[in-house]
Amino acid sequence: MRYFPLQPDLFKENRGRFVAAMEARSIAIFVSNDEMPSNADAHYPFRQNSDLFWLSGIWQEDSMVILFPDHPDPRYREVLVLVRPIELKEKWDGRRLRAEEGRQISGHMGGCDWQSAAGMDTYGR
């Protein structure tokens, strides 16, 4: 465990403070850090983008937080994008967060989408 579980309200408050400082009709996109290879078949320990963690509490590569407070559809004002779990890949790289787990950790962000290799699919709403 990297840290003790934090209260999801902390991340809600952080997003609220950030959104309050945004200009009208603007969007903010935060992407996770990449896994950095140390050689052809190994990676350095993963280190999350501090801004993304501060806003969502998510510690997983291939993640995004999108904040668009003026979007007409409330589902798209706060969106968490996670990589779609693939069972075979999880055997090698470890378990990935499911949509509901991401919602719980982040303090129930409005949308939780899956990112797939073929592009953006929207499941799990």
Residue 33: closest CA among 49, 56, 50, 55: 49
Per-residue pLDDT of 5-55, as tens digits, reads: 788 899 999 999 999 999 999 999 999 887 777 887 777 777 788 898 899
Per-residue pLDDT of 76-124, as tens digits, reads: 899 998 888 888 878 887 888 888 888 888 887 766 556 543 444 443 4
Distance between CA atoms of 18 and 55, rounded to whole angstroms? 8
What pTM did the predictor assign? 0.78
* Three-class SS state of 124: coil
Determine whether domain 8-34+45-121 maps to CATH 3.30.300.30: no
- Where do the domains of the chain lie? 8-34+45-121
Going from the C-alpha of 85 to that of each of 42, 79, 92, 96, 114, the distances in angstroms are: 20, 18, 12, 6, 9
* Three-class SS state of 7: coil
Residue 15: closest CA among 6, 2, 28, 34: 28
Sign of the CA dihedral running 5, 53, 124, 116: negative
